Each structure stands twice: as structure tokens, then as C-alpha cells.
Structure 1
Amino acid sequence: MLMSTTSSLDGKPVRQYLGVVNGEAIIGANLFKDLFASIRNVVGGRAGAYERTLADARRIAIEEMQAEAVRLGANAILGIDVDYEVLGADNGMLMVCVSGTAVQV
């Protein structure tokens, strides 16, 4: 599956637009990650546990979007947009939403 944040692919004209496809992932952060991230914030450095959680959520959302595009008969997704939100009363949930246009090139 070809995927791009742009609206076209060089040398590959769009033959058919199949519709908008989406993928979402909501992942909770746990107490131990929060504790180590707080320590990391105090001493400096990167919060690796949160970075891995964010990467996992993004991967899941993209895979869900791809699966929807395949169901529509697409071989590419154009104009991909990725959005991130923190949810929950204590900001304990991370939501990643991706969307794009399923096409045949």
C-alpha cells in the first residue's frame, strides 16, 4: 500500500477516488510509565516509555486505516493526516486518529 501525506504521487496518476478512510487508537498510560516519565522530566532526557506508547498507537491507527482502504479496493492512500489528543479526567489516555483518501493509482 502506497501512503503519502501529499495529494498526489509523482508518476502515478489517480485512476479512481474511493473515499475517506480512518483509523483510531486509544491507549492508556499506566502508573509506572507516569512515574518514570516524571523522574525523566526532573533529570532530563527523553521519556522512552511514552515515545513507545505513542509509536504503538500511531502504528495501530495506520494499520486500521490501511485495512479500511484495502476493503474499498485501494492500492494507495493520499493526503494522510495524523492527529493526537490526550483524553480522560486525569489525561491518562492517548488518542491517535489518522485519515486519508483511499485511491487506485
Structure 2
Amino acid sequence: MIVTTTPTVDGYRITGYYGIVFGEVVNGVNFIRDFTAGIRNFVGGRSGGYEEELTKARDEALAEMERRAAEKGAHAIVGVDIDYETLGEGGSMLMVSATGTAVTLEKIS
């Protein structure tokens, strides 16, 4: 499935619209990652644990969005937007949402 942030797909014509599709993931961040991220924040450097959590949550949200588009018969998702939010007391939960428009495509000859 083609997934793009653009409103069109080069070389294709959109032949059908199936509405907005979305994928949402809410993950907790564990104490060890919080602690090591706090140390890194104090001494400087990147937080590999948080980066892994972000990547995992983003991939899961995109996969869920693609699954929903496929269930509608779509070939692609255009206009994709990904948002990140922290939830819970002290930002202990991470929510990633992916949204876009499910479409069918026809190759332009």
C-alpha cells in the first residue's frame, strides 16, 4: 500500500475516496527508561529507549491505519499526518495517532 503525506501520488490518478482512516496507539513508558532518560537529560545525549518507543508506536499506528484502509478496498492513503501526545500523570503514557484519506488509484499511461 502506498502511504504518503502528499495529497496525490505521482503517476497515478485517484479514482475513489473511502474517507478518513486512522491508527492510534497508546503505550506506557516504563520506570527504567524514565530513569535512564533523566540521567541522559542531565549529562546530555540521546535517549535510545524513548526513541525505540516512538519508533515502535509510530510503526504500529501506521500499520493499523493501513489495515483499516485495506478493509475498505483502498490502494493508498494520501495526506497522512502523524501526531504525538503525552497522557497521564507526569506524561507517563505516549499516544501516537496517524490519519489520512484512503483512496483507490489508477496508473496514468
TM-score (norm 1): 0.98
The letter of the residue matching 2:48 is G
Query: C-alpha root-mean-square deviation of aligned residues, in Å?
Result: 0.6
SS in 1 for 2:13: coil
Alignment partner, residue 82 of structure 2:
82
Alignment partner, residue 39 of structure 1:
39
Gapped runs of 5+ residues in structure 2? none
The letter of the residue matching 1:90 is G
Aligned positions of 1:56-75 closer than 5 A: 56-75=56-75
Q: Are residue 6 (structure 1) and residue 13 (structure 2) matched?
A: no
Percent of matched pairs sharing the same residue: 48
Alignment partner, residue 15 of structure 1:
15
Please give the per-residue CA displacement for 1:42-84, whole angstroms capped at 9, x wherever unaligned.
1111000000001000011000000000000001000000001
| Distance in structure 2 (CA, Å) of the matches to 1:90 and 1:56 | 21
Shift, 1:98, TM fit: 0.5
The letter of the residue matching 1:51 is E
SS in 2 for 1:15: strand
The letter of the residue matching 2:2 is L
The letter of the residue matching 1:37 is A
TM-score (norm 2): 0.94
SS in 2 for 1:70: helix
The letter of the residue matching 1:77 is I
